[in-house]
Chains A and B, each alone.
Chain A
Amino acid sequence: MKYSEIIKLNSDLKDSLDGSHYNVFIASNIMVHQSKEICEFSLRRESVNASVSIGRYDNIVQDSSKVKNVDAVLIFWEVFNFVDGLHYKIDTLTEVEFQNLIQKVKLEIDLVFSNLKNVPLVLINKFSTLVFNQFNLSDNRISQLAKILNLYLANTAKENTKIVDIDKVISRLSIDLSIDLRYYYSSKTLYSIKFYRQYFEYIKPFFLSTVGKAKKALIFDCDNTLWKGVLGEDGPDGIKVYQEIQYLALSLESQGVIIGLCSKNNLEDVDEVLKHHTDMILRDENIAIKKVNWGNKVDNLRSIANDLNIGLDSLVFFDDSSFEVELVARELPDVKVFQVPPKEYEYGQLFREVFNLFYSPVRTKEDKSKSKMYKDQSKRLEEKESSKNIEDYLISLGIVIEVYEDNLSHAPRIAQLTQKTNQFNLTTKRYTESDIKAFIQGCDKIVLSIEVFDKFGPSGLTGVAILCKKTCEIDSLLLSCRVLGRNIEYKFMEIIISIAKKNELKVLRGNYVKTYKNSQVENFYDKCGFNIKDRTDKNSIYSIDVDEFNRDSIDYIKVNHGR
């Protein structure tokens, strides 16, 4: 976002937020005017109605004695400008002058801290020497000065005061991008817009924690989020636990952050992993709330917030799927959503960044038992179903299904899908590549394969159906779990019916063969309007007159016929 856009949005947000102002006063011995818009914007975006005022140039002590009715004071106090041009004058000072300078600043620090002792939050930057000292090979007076004064800050800071390590922000961004020396020499404006953006993102948790806006609950998807792999497909032995993430989550939990799960999975499978998987760090007792089912995540996150009796804006959600991430971001803008990075080594860093959102200045004993408390509470509450319409979202995805009929080049992937797919698989018949080739080349079977595309790109060949002309039967029907939750299965059934019609089949039979893992499709044929013919423990047989198939057509999913 460009700076002028921030200014515009900041002014729009100002009009949209109500409630009392959160007043921030920025005192400095350099010019920091651009910090106003960016500080306000970073807080207003979190629904904190911030109003920033800037003190007079190089009047930190005087300003500190005058501030009234402020919620937070932020101090930019630059070593190089204690005295105009100190960075080039300091080595010409006599030792006495140097010591006097140290004493003078110490006294000023005392005065400032004392003047601000009743302000709820005081933020002061650690004295930094990076900008003008970056080329020095050895310690010099500037770095000695900063060292002495930083120690003094740490020892004299009152409880309301937090010391901000500004060097971390400068390092992340680079010194060159953090400053603009043109403006330093012309108007004592040191820091760049880029710097302020990073800086206020970095310190934002301090402000948010004082207004009760720190995040409270960390909710994870399971597959490819808490562990690598798909539990339902790979089994408990086939998953690789993300231990770094789980250790970090555990440490948050010990500080009073609620950990929860929101995952499309079989609850028993996940419970089994939580209880018995030897690599797991997070255990059942660390998880305060679980929504592990096949419902949509928007509803599940809503009910998590509801059950825990906290706002949606207290939730942080991690998921690996761009589909789920976009859905939640769109439907529940208050929830902070993060997508697991595709590169595994980036996951830990992202997680450490997110850590700050839970920042809380003090941890109490109650915090530590909070997790258990919430857990008890969520047990008491009954799950409520809500039926928020996610169709709008699905429409926006622009889903396209490409259907292939008897495509020989797909045989390897089709065989692989029949062998690997456990969850959305009606009959779970396993076929080899040569089986599939024989089906394709013979004349009794119709082998359908589908590729799914949406605005995020292709999902690849992710669905298979095998129809048997002689017996009018759906021999196999399966979908990779990658594409579930988008009503693709129902569109696929429409396709199957139309292909059956094309082949002059009057009736179509379907079969659900129960396995340990495919309970989610137990009622799939019922939902498609098939009539049940026979049902045993293991097996349900359905049929439908193809002309009677009248499920409402899903017109937001387009179908193309591939070759």
Chain B
Amino acid sequence: MEDKIKRIMSNIFNIDVESINGDSSPDSIESWDSFNQMNLIVSLEEEFDIELDDNEILEMVSYPLIKLIINSKLDCK
């Protein structure tokens, strides 16, 4: 799962997979804007076959938070 998330982030933000870590957030990744935030959400939903609700979307503002939310979504399935 972590690999998939990293690959998606790498594709969307146009950054190296290796550079993604616990500090990765809109503050540290220049291309993480609102447009790419939307692309990120759509891609995560597609990859994991989940539906994220508004609150979850708003909370997804760092790599650790993304992992946490996707994990809890997958546990519910």
Contacts and interface: CB of A to CB of B under 8 A. Distances in A.
Interface stretch (B5-13, B19-27, B60-68): B5-13
Please tell me the size bucket of the interface on B.
10 to 19
Interface stretch (A4-12, A433-441, A448-456, A530-538): A4-12
Nearest to B34: A33
Nearest to B35: A33
A7 B39 contact: yes
A411 B8 CA distance: 57
A34 B39 CA distance: 7
Contacts of B53: 182
B71 interface: no
Contacts of B42: 3, 34, 193
Contacts of B7: 4
Interface SS, A side: helix
A2 B47 contact: yes
A66 B51 CA distance: 38
A33 B39 CA distance: 9
A2 B10 CA distance: 14
Contacts of A4: 7-8, 11-12, 39, 43, 46-47
A278 interface: no
A253 interface: no
A491 B56 CA distance: 62
Interface string B48-75: 0001011000000000000000000000
Contacts of B39: 3-4, 7, 34, 37
Contacts of B8: 4
Contacts of A136: none
A3 B14 contact: no
Contacts of A34: 38-39, 42
B46 A5 contact: no
A505 B26 CA distance: 79
A7 B40 CA distance: 10
B32 to A, nearest CB: 13
B43 A2 contact: yes
A138 interface: no
B11 A5 contact: yes
Contacts, number: 38
A550 interface: no
Given A4-B7, A34-B39, A182 B14 contact: no
A39 to B, nearest CB: 14
A409 interface: no
Contact of A3 (B10, B35, B46, B51): B46
A13 to B, nearest CB: 13
A8 B11 contact: yes
B9 to A, nearest CB: 8
B70 to A, nearest CB: 14
B38 A7 contact: no
Interface string A174-213: 0000000010001101000100000000000000000000
Nearest to B54: A186
Interface in A26-40: 33-34, 37
Nearest to B52: A182
Nearest to A2: B46
A38 to B, nearest CB: 11
Contacts of A37: 39
A338 B51 CA distance: 36
Contacts of A193: 42, 46
A64 B54 CA distance: 33
Contacts of A186: 54
Contacts of B46: 2-4, 193
Contacts of B10: 8
Nearest to B14: A11
B12 to A, nearest CB: 5
The 8 nearest A-B residue pairs measured at CB? A8-B11, A4-B43, A4-B11, A4-B8, A3-B43, A7-B11, A7-B12, A4-B12
Interface of B: 7-8, 10-12, 14, 35, 38-39, 42-43, 46-47, 51, 53-54
28 contacts: A2-B43, A2-B46, A2-B47, A3-B39, A3-B43, A3-B46, A4-B8, A4-B11, A4-B12, A4-B39, A4-B43, A4-B46, A4-B47, A7-B11, A7-B12, A7-B43, A8-B10, A8-B14, A11-B14, A33-B35, A33-B38, A34-B38, A34-B42, A37-B39, A182-B51, A186-B54, A187-B38, A193-B46
